[in-house]
Structure 1
Amino acid sequence: MRRIIDRRTNRQALSELPYGYSCSFCGAFLAGAVMKGCGIITHCSPGCNFSLNITQLGASGRFSKPVNFASTLLTEKDVIFGGGGSLYDSLLRFADNFDIDFEMVITGCSAETIGDNISEISSRAFEKTGKPVLTVNAGGYKGNTVDGYNMALKSIAEQLVIDEMPRVDKSVNLIGIIPVHDLFWRGNINEMTRLIQSIGATVNSVLVGEGMTLADIRRLPSASLNVVVSESVGIEAAAVISERFGMETVICDEGYPVGTVSSSKWLERVGKALNVSTEIINSAIVAETNSVLGSVANYISALNDVILKQRYFILADSFYALGIFSYLTGELGMTPEVIAVSTCNDRTLEKIGELCDRFSVNPVIAIDPDNNDIEKLLDETEPTLFIGRGEDIQIARKKGVPLLGLTPTNLHRIQLYPLPLTGFNGGLVILDEIFREVMNVR
């Protein structure tokens, strides 16, 4: 009988609920924060804007890229009489004073409660300034960081992608990696791009990638294929593009592809959808696999003596949890004690069960666990490796277990060189990280 702890509908005390993600308002902000030529206006109260400015970017390995953004800073008067005037004035001033290509309005909880018609206000501002305005209704109570990012992607696909364009053969839109959300986002984009190029294809646009421009967004319809590398991020946006422009979409429904087995399957699916020859696909897979096996062979004693014997507890977003679980257990044969997942839906829970059956393992499954759950499960299962959030360092030290802090928040480390956790090379990075953390605790 599989043990499942599901906190989606059975919350405990608020004091026990510090999560590694924020609200939908913050998630929408992440999409705009890395785009070039984007001016963000937050239509919210001062507190939301302050928290966003101080914590959201820095929570991901202290990433602190300058962002063009301002806020209407709604007051009690705005809440009572409406904040539309403040938003309209802000849009005009921003367009006049900043070198931007388009504006992005993100609503907070107070603006959502007021019911300001931001679409109508933004349309009037566009007529005045000539700057396109992207509107995202992302009041924080609507969901978490991942939900908000999905709202922003869908809004981009609906509002900024305008015209049909000639298709570029064997080109893809890469969708599903959240910028800034975790330490490895840039490396993940680079690795997925590299693998797509290894079969002779190209990446048309990354939705949303670092430095993405309005021109990159407009170019989305010219791809041959949408490739969504997550089962929970970017699917709605890809569906909008597919429906509007008749484009096929390939979805990785078992989380990020990590390691040789999952990455080979993913590359084969993408290649077949692009009508790449079987010979080219197989040649790329063999080359990547041989490269990984060659690296592993040089350190086989470390792998056997230190890494493979670890019994692990993983706490991560669904796309990381599924992908790393498939890699560590399905490919390497490591034993999972607990699979704990945030940002989970019913389909994700079903997929975890399918993978457990496939790999013949029976870990505890925890959905949206709070800190109290985490401590209890660490005591009950006594794992020898904890793969979790950077903020779990204190719990890990208390329990004397090595912590591999991969998922947000991450204040204990930075990453200047963009390492991946996805793809063939991502598997090697995970092994490096596990060895280092285990040896540090010995």
Structure 2
Amino acid sequence: MAERNLKVTGGNNTIVHPHYACAIGGAYSAVAIKGGVPIANCGPGCMYKQYFFMGFENGFQGSTGAGGGNVPSANVGESDIVFGGMKKLDDLIKATLAIYDADLFVVATGCTGELVGDDVGSVVKKYREAGYPVVYADTGGFKGSNLIGHEIVVKAIIDQFVGDYDGKRQKGLVNLWFETPYFNTNWRGDYIEIVRILRAIGFKVNVLFGPQSEGVSEWRDIPKAQFNLIISPWAGIEIVRHLEKKYNQPYLHIPVIPIGEEATSAFIRELVKYAEIDEEESEKFIKEEAELYYYFLDSFSHFFAEYWYGLPSRFAVVGDSAYTLAYTKFLADQVGLIPVKQIITDNPPEQFREEIREEFRKLSEGVSVEIEFMEDGYLAEKALAETDFGSGVPLILGSTWESDVAREKNALLLEIDPPSSETVVLNRSHIGYRGALQLLERIYTATVGSK
């Protein structure tokens, strides 16, 4: 996988132990749409590498429908590069339409097709004019990570499938733009929890990805929403800006994924105020959830009081911007742990980096940390190895790449980011009210088990 993630600053700057896939990994955003089928116009093995990194070796999520080894692929070879691969792609689309009974097909083009200049749009246009729901996205790996690919794929679906709209908006209907499917390890469980919260406080939600989505019908309803909700430091911002320009549709940007009672209640109140909906329903929900949350936290405090001398007090997080920020804020602000090394690995565009830094400078009253942006996993591991965690048990939230350093430091390692090859994820969430309790269970179960 590392050979597909190269820095372009010159010299021999191959990235070792990458924490993201390449742009064509955005094809898995199509897999995450109910009734969606990706068609890979790329070289042999490209999509399989994306699947292993984002799906199989990332909590062993597996895949559904046309994901995993079932992705139709052109397997572009030398002759296609020399003579062009248009005929081969045309045959692949035709065969895919005959085999799959789907609601949306997304042709994702990788490096080879883009470099030789295949006119994929003209091939796809023929099928779309014939009434087939086919779109195309130029997702060559050299364009960046799978997070960039995700944005490219989503914008392609909006422009080529959803299309224009000049009707009314529905008050209380929100488009949810959240974690990146398959890339964010807990994305499915996190979507379920955030949708549960949104619906409970009075919103109707266009759930565009995952098990709770109704599929393409909700994509068709995107322009009808009152506004777009983006919960992310940067990934997905280009999507909501595109929707604002295309449909004159406003968006609310919340950079920190809420974890725990305080953050989740504040998130709800900000959302309700922005949407100008009735507060009575949301306040009732907050009261009920807070009572449950503190009931269990009170029980947990008995454990904490007994075992405090053997519990971790300093922690590090190595991961993408969204998870690193969310986990760091919760552990520093609500649990009282000390952040000593926070490394962001998803290479956010320069325009967003200062805003991300500012979020880490206001973690809690009197608590801030300066972050480091590192794409290279080797450098991240080296930085961790040189970090002073004091005399207590270090806590590291990261990926499988950090396992060697964790063993050397006798640290607790919780895999929360790809690759995560030593944990199995079914329906796990660490966000909101309920997810925060699961996160605490996971951390302190590991603590007791290490004694």
What corresponds to 1:400 in structure 2?
A: 410
CA contact (8 A) 1:250 1:269 kept: no
CA contact (8 A) 1:37 1:214 kept: yes
- AA aligned opposite 1:145: N
CA contact (8 A) 2:42 2:76 kept: yes
What corresponds to 2:335 in structure 1?
A: 332
Distance in 2, Cα, partners of 1:228 & 1:195: 15
Once the two structures are overlaid, the 10-residue window that deviates more, 298-307 or 194-203, is 298-307
SS at match of 2:72: strand
What corresponds to 1:162 in structure 2?
A: 163
1:37-436 equivalences under 5 Å are: 37-52=35-50, 54-68=52-66, 69-128=71-130, 130-164=131-165, 165-203=167-205, 205-210=206-211, 213-253=215-255, 255-304=256-305, 305-306=307-308, 309-343=312-346, 344-346=348-350, 347-357=352-362, 359=364, 360-361=366-367, 363=369, 365-368=371-374, 370-383=376-389, 384-416=394-426, 418-436=427-445
What corresponds to 1:4 in structure 2?
A: none
Distance in 2, Cα, partners of 1:11 & 1:299: 52
CA contact (8 A) 1:400 1:441 kept: no
- AA aligned opposite 1:296: L
Q: CA deviation at 1:364?
A: 5.3
Q: CA deviation at 1:118?
A: 1.2
Q: CA deviation at 1:166?
A: 4.5
CA contact (8 A) 1:183 1:414 kept: no
Q: What per-residue deviation string (whole Å, max 9, x for no partner) do you get for residues 72-129 of structure 1? A: 111212112221121122112211232122221001111110111211110012234x
Distance 1:106 1:100, change over 3 A: same
CA contact (8 A) 1:61 1:411 kept: yes
Q: What per-residue deviation string (whole Å, max 9, x for no partner) do you get for residues 245-284 of structure 1? A: 332211112x312222221221112111222233433333
Distance in 1, Cα, partners of 2:370 & 2:379: 11
- AA aligned opposite 1:331: Q
Distance in 2, Cα, partners of 1:178 & 1:45: 24
Distance in 2, Cα, partners of 1:153 & 1:333: 38
Q: What per-residue deviation string (whole Å, max 9, x for no partner) do you get for residues 13-69 of structure 1? A: 76762122111111x122011223223211111132442455542122112224422
Q: What per-residue deviation string (whole Å, max 9, x for no partner) do you get for residues 140-189 of structure 1? A: 11111211112112222222212535533312111122122233111111
Q: What per-residue deviation string (whole Å, max 9, x for no partner) do you get for residues 187-224 of structure 1? A: 11111111112212221x12333455222211212222
Once the two structures are overlaid, the 10-residue window that deviates more, 105-114 or 65-74, is 65-74
**TM-score relative to the length of structure 1:** 0.90
SS at match of 1:264: helix
Distance 1:116 1:366, change over 3 A: same
Q: Unaligned regions of 5+ residues in structure 1, if any?
A: 1-6
CA contact (8 A) 1:315 1:388 kept: yes
Once the two structures are overlaid, the 10-residue window that deviates more, 391-400 or 47-56, is 47-56
CA contact (8 A) 1:29 1:149 kept: yes
Distance in 1, Cα, partners of 2:338 & 2:220: 46
SS at match of 2:218: helix
- AA aligned opposite 1:174: L
CA contact (8 A) 1:44 1:71 kept: yes
CA contact (8 A) 2:59 2:423 kept: yes
RMSD: 2.5
Distance in 2, Cα, partners of 1:10 & 1:328: 36
Q: CA deviation at 1:415?
A: 2.3
CA contact (8 A) 2:360 2:369 kept: no
- AA aligned opposite 2:417: T
What corresponds to 2:3 in structure 1?
A: none
Distance 1:223 1:88, change over 3 A: same
Distance in 2, Cα, partners of 1:99 & 1:187: 27
Aligned length: 431
- AA aligned opposite 2:34: K
The ranges of structure 1 where at least 4 consecutive aligned residues each deviate by more than 6 angstroms after the TM superposition are 7-13
Distance in 1, Cα, partners of 2:328 & 2:412: 18
Once the two structures are overlaid, the 10-residue window that deviates more, 141-150 or 357-366, is 357-366
CA contact (8 A) 2:345 2:373 kept: yes
Q: CA deviation at 1:428?
A: 1.4
Distance 1:354 1:123, change over 3 A: closer
CA contact (8 A) 1:338 1:365 kept: yes
Once the two structures are overlaid, the 10-residue window that deviates more, 271-280 or 161-170, is 161-170
CA contact (8 A) 2:120 2:136 kept: yes
SS at match of 2:184: coil
CA contact (8 A) 1:259 1:423 kept: yes
CA contact (8 A) 1:61 1:182 kept: no
CA contact (8 A) 1:238 1:249 kept: yes
Q: CA deviation at 1:309?
A: 4.9
Q: CA deviation at 1:229?
A: 1.2
Distance in 2, Cα, partners of 1:40 & 1:16: 27
Distance 1:149 1:415, change over 3 A: same
Q: Unaligned regions of 5+ residues in structure 2, if any?
A: 1-5
SS at match of 1:415: coil
**TM-score relative to the length of structure 2:** 0.88
Distance in 1, Cα, partners of 2:242 & 2:202: 27
Distance in 1, Cα, partners of 2:417 & 2:379: 18
